[in-house]
Amino acid sequence: MNSFYASIEQAQNLELRGKPVVICGDPERRSGIVLAASKEAKQFGIKTVDPLWMVQQKCPQAVIVRPRMETYVEVSVRIMEIAQRFTPQVEVFSIDEIFLDLSGTEKLWGGPWEVARQFRRLVREETGVVCSVGIGYNKLVAKVCCDTKAKKSSEGIWEWKPQDIVREMHPLPVRELFGVGSRMERHFHSRGIVTIGDLARYPLHLLKKRFGIMGEVYHLSANGIDYSPVTPNTFRQDMKSVGHMMTLPRDYETAAEVEVVLLELCEDVCRRLRRMGRNGRTVHMHCGYHGLVGGFSRQVSLPYSTNITREVYAAACQIFHEKWSGTAVRSVGISVENLGDDGEQQLDLFHDRERERRLAYTIDSIKDRFGNTALVRAASLTQAGQAFERSGKIGGHYR
């Protein structure tokens, strides 16, 4: 989907059409970064994750719109339903990206180009959103083709076949290859790898020596090879961890303040685990310092799997007090990994874990019925607490 959030706002508000629309968080709570920019805004050089002050410098006339995540999720679900009219093999990659495997549907629809044209038309008619379609013989090729060619083409559709890789993909900058971020780009540049073709031709044994198994993955990707199938229900089947992270509305300078947010995040993570019928053995904590400089990210393994808030919180506090330098804290994150089935419980001679678990599920049912803030911990009533603010958001953004 092209400029997904901005496209939805323009589709639902005629006054925004043709204007440089920027979807931005709440600047007063330090979430004032660009989530999406319309094509008109992009012409001024506005990019995703630009801070609000930079947007105002680049385009003073930009229309700033606060995100409506609930609406965006609803539109995304409608688009997924449109995709499923063509094939059951639909993999959700993100809120605005999907993969479709059209193998065997040629007699129904006439081929991928026909599907692409019909899909774009239906999405535009039913949601007002414009999308681009990359056609490839695997997911990686389709995505790179979409990002680098389809989005820039007049029809919004482009196709790469195996014989097109050397001519079309290899001349592209290495950063255009899926999975290569800015840090990896610098690593590649230090080795003289500037284009995707350079990476494809680089000796495989040297890539594996420096990057391990990922070296082989990069080699295969640069040569247009991707063995991963289109997998429906990927998020539900293959979830390896459950976590939450948030940027604080101000710098938290004391351990007591940070501990309040840690407790709230642990409560949310454990509630999600219980809803999934899962528990986990490894607790991972992230802490970012003031000015986005420094911080730490560490994990600890528990003697048994859990989704009990008290136990996860104790592990998070242990990490925090061992690693915190005393610097003001700007962001905090908690995740639980090494997931298992919640039906399997380790008993404890000194704590009635089963009683705690039943109590947690009872609290969850009350929140499900009456709202997230029907019951809160007393710590959330302090100035450091964020539970009430976060309860009105989806994914950290306003509904």
CA dist 277 to 58, 207, 345, Å?
48, 40, 12
Neighbours of 68 (CB within 10 A): 19
Is the sign of the CA dihedral 61, 67, 71, 74 positive or negative?
A: positive
Strand partners, 270: none
CB contact at 8 A, 142 and 99:
yes
Q: Any residues with CB less than 8 A from the CB of 107 and at least 6 apart, and which?
A: none
The type of residue at 303 is: P
The catalytically annotated residue of 70, 74, 97, 176 is: 97
Q: Shortest CA distance to 20 belongs to which of 50, 35, 42? A: 42
CA dist 298 to 261, 318, 339, 379, Å?
17, 10, 18, 25
Backbone angles phi, psi at 273, to 5 degrees: -60, -45
Q: How far apart, in whole angstroms, are the C-alpha atoms of residue 215 and residue 208? A: 5
CB contact at 8 A, 11 and 68:
no
97 is catalytic: yes
DSSP state of 104: T
CB contact at 8 A, 240 and 337:
yes
Q: Any residues with CB less than 8 A from the CB of 336 and at least 6 apart, and which?
A: 241, 242, 243, 269, 270, 273, 279, 280, 282, 283, 284, 307, 312
Pairing verdict, β 63-65 and 21-24 = parallel
Residue with tokens 């063509």: 86
CA dist 42 to 39, 55, 67, 155, 386, Å?
5, 10, 18, 19, 33
The annotation places the binding site for Mg(2+) at 96
| Residues involved in catalysis | 97
